[in-house]
Amino acid sequence: MVRIAVSQLHEGDYIDQAFVLQGKQLGQTSSNKPFLKAECVDATGSIHMRMWNITKEMYARLPAAGFVQVKGRIEAYQGHLQMIADAVAPIEDLSKLDLSELLKHTQKNVPEMMARVKEILGGIRDADLKALVDTFLGDAELMKKFQIAPAAMNMHHAWLGGLLEHTLSLLELAVVICPRYADIDQDVVVAALFMHDLGKTVELSYGAGFDYTDHGRLIGHVVQGAMWVEQKAAEAGAKRGKPLRRDLVMVLTHIILSHHGEPEFGAAVLPKTPEAILVNLIDNLDAKTQMAMDAVAAPAEESNWTDWHKAFNSKLYRPSVTIHE
């Protein structure tokens, strides 16, 4: 059977192919029978999946996030497509899988992006701040994960290499925006944007689909990032033979803890410096714009409108209204 990408699925399609299983849950019908609900994902998108004839033993054999073979059909339900599975089985032998079909990944050149990140960071003039940034860059294992990790589970830049792509986008925005405000400390903004999401490298697992690690659920990337600022500052100080300035470390830690803007969105504290406010705005600008572009590009039942999107509390209008001659 020819593989059908998630983005190309239509009502009435029958499938027998591999997907990444994410977010599995064991539900209960009105007649108290167990059923499986999960997301089936490939490199082009995701679709809700239900399996009604499942036992608790079958459910336990399925990975929390991993590769599965699904046999079933595509149906429409309340204006959306969903997959009704007749059979779901974990895939043990990955050698026959084309992972590029199953795991969404950045379409940009990773070495070129990383080189540009380093180029922008190389413009930092404050000696203590440069020492701190260089300590992060010198952590080979962390930088390896930084270039592979997604930026999120599903909200924005949710693909392999997404964290690097998102971070570079923020840095490029910063070097354009900061010069517009003479009293903004560009060194602090650039360094904080580089560091702000590094905790995602341990918050998320991304070997076979995306999920939260135990570390991610218990600590989270915001707190982890703040902890790393303190740890790397101590390392940088020891290497230089004198500690980094405490006010600098404190301000950077504050920006990491506040970069989500509001406690309801995950911030530990409200942004309380101009640089912290700007970091939150730049981060939100890139994240929301990418989410909007992804929503408009995704298939939907109504051709002129996207599906309803939680982040915008609305559907989005698709058509471009300009004409390029």
Kindly report, residue by residue over 63-79, the tens digit of the pLDDT.
Answer: 887 899 999 999 988 87
Q: What is the pLDDT of residue 205?
A: 80
With beta carbons less than 8 A apart as the criterion, state whether 213 and 204 touch.
Answer: yes
Q: Check pLDDT > 70 for residue 268.
A: yes
Q: Check pLDDT > 80 for residue 246.
A: yes
Q: What is the pLDDT of residue 118?
A: 97
Q: What is the pLDDT of residue 302?
A: 60
Domain 6-101, CATH homologous superfamily name and number? Nucleic acid-binding proteins (2.40.50.140)
Q: What is the pLDDT of residue 280?
A: 96
Cα gap 145→136, rounded to integer Å: 12
pTM tops 0.85, yes or no: no
Q: What is the pLDDT of residue 85?
A: 94
Q: What is the pLDDT of residue 312?
A: 85
Q: What is the pLDDT of residue 48?
A: 92
Q: Check pLDDT > 70 for residue 80.
A: yes
Average pLDDT over residues 300-325: 80
Q: What is the pLDDT of residue 157?
A: 76
Over the stretch 1-60, which tens digit does the pLDDT of each residue have? 788 999 889 999 999 999 989 888 998 888 888 899 998 988 888 899 999 988 888 899
Burial annotation 89-99 (CB, 10 A radius, 16+ → b, else e): eebeeeeeeee
Q: What is the pLDDT of residue 12?
A: 92
Over the stretch 190-203, which tens digit does the pLDDT of each residue have? 999 999 999 999 88
Better pLDDT: 30 or 120 = 120
DSSP, collapsed to helix, strand or coil, labels residue 300 as coil
Tokens of 74: 């595509």
Tokens of 170: 């923020």
Q: Check pLDDT > 70 for residue 154.
A: no
Q: What is the pLDDT of residue 209?
A: 67
Cα gap 79→68, rounded to integer Å: 26
Which residue bears the tokens 């504050």? Answer: 254
Better pLDDT: 270 or 320 = 270
Q: Check pLDDT > 80 for residue 206.
A: no
- Under CATH, which architecture does the 104-293 domain have? Orthogonal Bundle (1.10)
> Containing H/E element for 172?
helix 162-177
Average pLDDT over residues 244-263: 96
Better pLDDT: 152 or 20 = 20
Q: Where are the domains of the chain?
A: 6-101, 104-293
Query: In which region does residue 241 sit, left (phi positive, over 0), alpha (psi from -120 to 50) or beta (all else)?
Result: left
Cα gap 187→310, rounded to integer Å: 34
Q: What size, in residues, is the chain?
A: 325
What's the whole-number average pLDDT of the chain? 90
Over the stretch 210-229, which tens digit does the pLDDT of each residue have? 778 889 899 999 999 999 99
Q: Check pLDDT > 70 for residue 314.
A: yes
